[in-house]
Amino acid sequence: MSSSPSVDLQDVHDFLIDVAYRAGGMITSAKPVAAGSGMKKNSADLVTETDQAVEKMVSSSLKEKYPEFEFMGEETYKEGDKLSDAPTLKRRIKTFLKIQNLDSLTSPSLFPSHSIVDPIDGTTNFFHGHPYLCVSLGLAINQKPVLGVIYNPFTKTLYTGIKGQGAYLTDPCHNRARLPLRDPEPFRDLSHCLVAVEWGSDRDGNDFKVKTDTFAKLCASKEAGGAMVHGIRSLGSAELNMCGVAAGHLDLYWESGCWAWDVCAAWVIVEEAGGKVVGCHQGDWDPKIDQRRYMSVRAGQDQEKIVEEFWGCVQGKLEVGYDTVS
């Protein structure tokens, strides 16, 4: 297989920002009209006409700029599809590029690639007019995230990151401010933490019980055997939850059931802000991008200690993802 011309990561980064802004304009000018039945597997798993229109625009723009890439959208994802070592571009109003056999991060040789497209991260919020969703475009090399661009068009908030070059926030109050936004305090224990979680669209079965039991453990008083966290938050977007961790607004984010396109872009932003991405269960310090079980933790002394304490609160074992990891 022959390689294609080299691509500079900064060039890809700048192009993805332009695409994200264009996609954001489409979202803010659209009405959230349900596409077809308006749902996929159940009433909590929505899809709108805007998801589909933005997916088409982003995919066509990327194909024109990078014709070497092949594309696969979230709406065209088929059960059993797995990530391989072949280059992959994916996105969820995000786009995740996955590239193989690269000699360097700054001038990679691209091999045939495909994109995984999910046009809006936060579709349910969009459907209800709640302004927390994002265009998210990410790049991974050999299944390791190296570049992320995330844009919320309603709040005009842009998060960006390139491996080894830091993570940044641009919004009405910040002009490319480096993340985290303040010097991170050392972790004490979970009772001093603001934790993000999501319910997801699966509302029964083992994993739903693990989630709800874990949420209860986190919230319960110490007298009742709980962790008594400061609070629980749910933004309705995996990427924005992770960006909150990167910025230092949130201390931890624990999630299962999302996909690689839900975390790729924010993954590198978290790490470049001094945070970590680990798995949901004890000892999983090096999760795969497609394993569907993740926890991110902000920068700060004693990260590992707080992760271990959180793992001790998990009530049972999540089953999702064990048949999808490549």
Positions annotated as catalytic residues are 74, 118, 120-121, 123, 262
Distance separating alpha carbons of residues 284 and 279, to the nearest angstrom: 5
> Is 262 within any annotated ligand binding site?
yes
Strand partners, 217: none
Give the number of other CB atoms < 10 A from CB of residue 104: 10
> Is 85 within any annotated ligand binding site?
no
> Is 204 within any annotated ligand binding site?
no
List CB contacts of 217: < 8 A, sequence separation 6 or more.
225, 226, 227, 313, 315
Distance separating alpha carbons of residues 133 and 139, to the nearest angstrom: 19
DSSP secondary structure string for all residues of 165-215: TEEEEEETTEEEEESSSSPPPPP--GGG-EEE----S--SHHHHHHHHHHH
Please check whether residue 48 is in contact with residue 75, taking contact to mean a CB–CB distance below 8 angstroms: no
Please check whether residue 169 is in contact with residue 179, taking contact to mean a CB–CB distance below 8 angstroms: yes
Tokens at residue 168, please?
């940044």
Q: Which of 152, 148, 153 is nearest to 164 (CA)?
A: 148
List CB contacts of 294: < 8 A, sequence separation 6 or more.
254, 255, 256, 258, 263, 277, 278, 279, 280, 287
> Is 120 within any annotated ligand binding site?
yes
Please check whether residue 263 is in contact with residue 289, taking contact to mean a CB–CB distance below 8 angstroms: yes
What letter represents residue 156's amino acid? K
- The dihedral over CA atoms of 68, 69, 70, 74, expressed in degrees to the nearest 10, equals -170
Q: Scanning the structure block, which residue is given the tokens 């842009």? A: 158
Distance separating alpha carbons of residues 254 and 294, to the nearest angstrom: 6
Numbered residues of the known binding site: 74, 118, 120-121, 262
Numbered residues of the known binding site for Mg(2+): 74, 118, 120-121, 262
